[in-house]
């Protein structure tokens, strides 16, 4: 993106916020959006990631758009000031017409919108739409995920019920009916790999008349035994553990794949590059399911982990055993 000049007409940038739980497909959706247009010189992408390994930023590096990474925290909590500052600076420098914000999977869009609707931000940009990517399997296990999951759905103008290809056919209309019953004023679109047409995505959001209906399965205290504080971070309220691993050495392929297969069910997200002896691969591990594809980039292992009440040190020790000793 070129730096803005002083004689450009004043306008407001449109902000599109992408929300959704861990592994739902937000980065897949973002890549799809960026593939629709050849000229992305007036578009900026902001990616919020935990840890310092910058996985999603790497996945978007060839998009043609400027990518800004906010790491080591959550834009709905510890990085809210960074988000405000980054938005202010990018407006002063670029004056973009569109800003795509991909929130972390453990980010609360309620808190993010507080920043995006700040009067100082509102002078130059406007939140146009919130899109939540909902993994179909997660809806089936919704009673586990508590207040964070509730807020991601409640704030959405558009929900993509993603990965329906992994559902039994009869579950799709059942889940759509259930979601529409709970969120009557939100558009819900079933998708595979977040495949959606541009017109549906860019159609202006309708004002939300109501939030979610009160429903029994959203009980954030169920996992913690404590009442949920309005000011607490939802990720902290259910004891998420987030950490990363980075190593330039080679990993034994059989050992590493056994490591992945043996992970406890409480560790439900691993994402990043893995260096084997003959190649570099990108791993996307969600809830016991692994996706692999070849990757070109710096030859090192860079992984981000997210789980619930897991022993970080024990997992990292198991991973380090897969290092190939070199002479």
What pLDDT score was predicted for residue 124? 93
What pLDDT score was predicted for residue 327? 55
3-class DSSP string for 104-139 = CCCCCHHHHHHHHCCHHHHCCEEEEEEEEEEEHHHH
Query: Alpha-carbon distance 133 to 131, whole Å?
Result: 7
* Other beta carbons within 10 Å of 317: 10
What pLDDT score was predicted for residue 78? 42
* Other beta carbons within 10 Å of 5: 7
> pTM, whole model, 2 decimals?
0.68
Q: Is the dihedral of CA 229, 234, 238, 242 positive or negative?
A: negative
What pLDDT score was predicted for residue 23? 83
Q: Where are the domains of the chain?
A: 13-222, 239-320
Helix (H, G, I), strand (E, B) or coil at 86: helix
What pLDDT score was predicted for residue 145? 72
What pLDDT score was predicted for residue 49? 59
Query: Alpha-carbon distance 159 to 77, whole Å?
Result: 23
Residues in the chain with pLDDT values less than 70: 1-10, 38, 49-81, 207-240, 287, 327
Kindly state the tokens that stand for 248. Answer: 């330039």
CATH no. for 239-320: 3.30.1220.10
Pair 183, 150: CB distance under 8 Å: no
What pLDDT score was predicted for residue 127? 93
C-alpha distances (whole Å) from 103 to each of 29, 108, 140, 276, 326 are 12, 8, 23, 30, 39
Superfamily of domain 13-222: P-loop containing nucleotide triphosphate hydrolases (3.40.50.300)
Residue 112 CB-half CA count within 13 A: 33
What pLDDT score was predicted for residue 47? 82
What pLDDT score was predicted for residue 274? 96
Helix (H, G, I), strand (E, B) or coil at 57: helix
């Amino acid at each position: 993106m070129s730096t803005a000049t002083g004689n450009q007409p004043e306008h407001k940038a449109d902000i599109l916020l992408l929300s959704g739980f861990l592994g739902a497909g937000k980065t897949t959706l973002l890549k799809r959006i960026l593939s629709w247009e050849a000229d992305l010189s007036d578009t900026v992408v902001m990616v919020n990631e935990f840890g310092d390994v910058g996985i999603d930023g790497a996945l978007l590096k060839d998009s043609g758009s400027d990518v800004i990474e906010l790491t080591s925290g959550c834009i709905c909590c510890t990085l809210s000031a960074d988000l405000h500052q980054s938005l202010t600076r990018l407006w002063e420098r670029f004056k973009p017409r569109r800003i795509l914000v991909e929130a972390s999977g453990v980010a609360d869009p309620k808190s993010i919108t507080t920043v995006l609707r700040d009067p100082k931000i509102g002078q130059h940009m406007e939140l146009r739409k919130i899109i939540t990517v909902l993994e179909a399997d997660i809806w089936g296990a919704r009673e586990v995920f508590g207040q964070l999951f509730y807020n991601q759905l409640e704030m959405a103008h558009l929900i993509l019920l993603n990965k329906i290809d992994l559902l039994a056919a009869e579950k799709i209309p059942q889940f759509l009916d259930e979601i529409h019953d709970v969120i009557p004023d939100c558009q819900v679109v079933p998708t595979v790999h977040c495949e959606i047409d541009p017109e549906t995505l860019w159609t202006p959001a309708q004002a939300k008349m109501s939030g979610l209906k009160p429903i029994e399965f959203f009980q954030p205290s169920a996992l913690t035994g404590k009442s949920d504080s309005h000011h607490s971070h939802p990720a902290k309220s259910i004891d998420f553990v987030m950490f990363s691993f980075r190593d330039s050495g080679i990993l034994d392929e059989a050992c590493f794949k056994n490591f992945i297969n043996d992970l406890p069910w409480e560790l439900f997200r691993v994402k990043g590059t893995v260096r084997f002896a003959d190649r570099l691969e990108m791993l996307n591990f969600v809830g016991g399911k692994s996706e692999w594809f070849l990757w070109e980039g710096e030859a090192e292992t860079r992984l981000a982990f997210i789980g619930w009440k897991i022993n970080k040190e024990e997992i990292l020790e198991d991973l380090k055993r897969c290092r190939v000793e070199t002479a």
